[in-house]
Amino acid sequence: MDEAIDIDRILQILPHRWPFVLLDRITEVIPGERIRATKCVTFTEPWFQGHFPNRRIMPGVLIVEALAQAGGVLAHATEAIQDTTSILALLGIDRARFRHPVTPGDKLDIEVAVRHRRARVWKLEGEARVDGKLSASAELLVGVVGRSE
Question: Which tens digits make up the pLDDT trace of 69-101?
Answer: 999 999 989 887 766 677 888 999 999 999 999
* CATH number of domain containing 93: 3.10.129.10
> 116 lies in which domain range?
7-146
Residue 2 lies in a domain: no
Residue 56 lies in a domain: yes
User: How big is the CA angle at 36 (ends 131 and 19), to the nearest 5 degrees?
Assistant: 85
Q: Which residues are catalytic?
A: 51
105 pLDDT more than 80: yes
Residue 1 lies in a domain: no
Average pLDDT of the chain, as a whole number: 92
Structural domain count, the chain: 1
Q: Model's pTM, two decimal places?
A: 0.93
148 pLDDT more than 70: no
Residue 48 lies in a domain: yes
Q: What would the pLDDT profile of 42-57 be if each residue is shown by its tens digit? A: 999 999 989 888 999 9
Instruction: Kindly give, in sequence order, each residue whose CB lies less than 8 Å from that of residue 108, ignoring residues fewer than 6 positions away.
Output: 38, 39, 40, 41, 58, 63, 66, 102, 128, 129, 130, 135
149 pLDDT more than 50: no
Residue 92 lies in a domain: yes
19 pLDDT more than 60: yes
Can you tell me the distance from the alpha carbon of 107 to that of 97, in angstroms, rounded to the nearest whole number?
Answer: 19
Counting residues of the chain whose pLDDT is more than 90, the rounded percentage is 73
